[in-house]
Chain A
């Protein structure tokens, strides 16, 4: 993400109005093709209008197509969506194939995609399948029979061992080692 996208509207991929459940509704509601009748930059747009536009309108009766000639201006595609958004595309010097591809993009998206930064490529309404944590979750079975107050449970977990305890530990280890030596001698 570059700095120029910091203030772009951000969101998640969502289907508007549970689209696709029940039936699919094409979200592009109208498209306006603006072009110049004699400028060279509109040539691709003119070719598209001449060769493909009627077929496009017949295939997509749900999209209203407006054609707007204007003098000495850049050819432009404007798509309007059911959610009220509007996408503006400059088609300066584009060929008719490029324009068909752009129109196909406008037709298949559900809003102005260029004005939305996707935070993630997925979205879920229920992020956790385990449910919320509670103090009663994953308790050890001992906790049920525990009697409070108990001296065992009220000790801090990070209490350091004292010098006396260390000495006792050392003494016990020594004792064990001595016993092992004696038993070895007996075995011989």
Chain B
């Protein structure tokens, strides 16, 4: 930077003096500046675009303090060695072992603890709790719907997003930087496992509720789970409730035989309207109406009561597989 600054100041003073001295031209930017800059630019171009620098490479970095602060930030008490293990990815452990083997270190000292075991444990806990939580807060939704919602919450993308926002990018030991989504998700699972080791299963369940289940807030549930054959599903739901067969009725149409045709279909059962929908053909309108009816039946519609995130799921209701 200071080099560039001196070049800039050279430029400035050069301009002023060039105006004052009209006759004799004096060179203020040295002959070596341009070729040096050119060479630097050339080397940078040859190297290509560089990835982000890990924060741990800076002078002001204390891994132990960072680990301690990670737990305190989430108002949890971790045992630091377990937490450090949770942040050690297998890829890093293997790489490090390989490196040490090259230096001729004996096989017994090579073992580096990594998070595969903790991640498996944490994954089980998270899956069990998310399923129990969904079952309790959406009692009317059928099994496949709950499964789709649980899959969304436990997907790599969601878990990686949560992990990223809890500040684990800098803490993870992995062979690549920045760590991939898979590594991030894995480390979050391992953190859950480490928490259950340090403070018990109850705390781990609260952690899952507070950081993973809350991702459902303000989400369009229909976007996460759309029934594939809604009318068939509606028929089954009506049969279960011992209502008459759902009957689609055309309520209105507009712009027939044009490109902007619109149809409105309502679905009736037991002389009650279950739902209505719109579409560019009667078939899509009927499907939309069935989806609308299902949303009302399963209590998934837009203006439903928001999720209760202070809900206490009893531990005996969580099925640990």
Contact = CB atoms under 8 A, between A and B. Distances in A.
Interface in A53-71: 61-64, 66, 68
Interface in A102-143: 125-126, 134-136, 139
A26 B211 contact: no
Q: Is the interface of A mostly helix, strand, loop or mixed?
A: loop
A64 B65 contact: yes
Given A29-B73, A64-B65, A134 B166 contact: no
Given A61-B68, A68-B60, A29 B262 contact: no
B73 A126 contact: no
B69 interface: yes
B73 A26 contact: yes
B268 interface: no
Contact of B309 (A22, A63, A135): A22
B311 to A, nearest CB: 11
B242 interface: no
B254 interface: yes
B60 A22 contact: no
B167 A64 contact: no
B72 interface: yes
A26 B73 CA distance: 6
A22 B278 contact: no
B69 A61 contact: yes
B167 A82 contact: yes
Interface string B193-228: 000000000000000011101110110000000000
A64 B60 CA distance: 10
A82 B166 contact: yes
Given A17-B165, A22-B209, A62 B69 contact: yes
Nearest to B64: A64
B66 A64 contact: yes
Contact of B214 (A22, A63, A139): A22
A113 B59 CA distance: 26
A68 B59 contact: yes
A172 to B, nearest CB: 38
B218 A125 contact: yes
B251 interface: yes
B82 to A, nearest CB: 18
B302 interface: yes
B59 A25 contact: no
Interface string B156-176: 000001100111010000000
Contacts of B302: 126
Contacts of B209: 22
A83 B145 CA distance: 32
Interface string B44-60: 00000000000100011
A32 B62 CA distance: 12
Given A21-B309, A22-B211, A66 B69 contact: no
A18 interface: yes
A154 to B, nearest CB: 15
A66 B66 CA distance: 11
A16 interface: yes
Contact of B264 (A18, A23, A136): A136
Given A21-B309, A134-B278, A66 B167 contact: no
A84 B217 CA distance: 23
Contacts of B264: 134, 136
B210 A22 contact: yes
B291 to A, nearest CB: 14
A61 B65 CA distance: 9
B252 interface: yes
Contact of A62 (B72, B165, B211, B251): B72
7 contacts: A22-B211, A25-B73, A62-B72, A62-B74, A64-B69, A126-B302, A136-B264
Interface of A: 16-18, 21-23, 25-26, 29-30, 32, 61-64, 66, 68, 80, 82-84, 125-126, 134-136, 139
Interface of B: 55, 59-60, 62, 65-66, 68-69, 72-75, 161-162, 165-167, 169, 209-211, 213-215, 217-218, 251-252, 254-255, 262, 264, 278, 302, 309
Given A26-B73, A134-B264, 13 more contacts: A17-B211, A17-B215, A18-B217, A18-B218, A22-B214, A23-B74, A61-B72, A66-B60, A68-B59, A82-B167, A84-B169, A135-B262, A139-B252
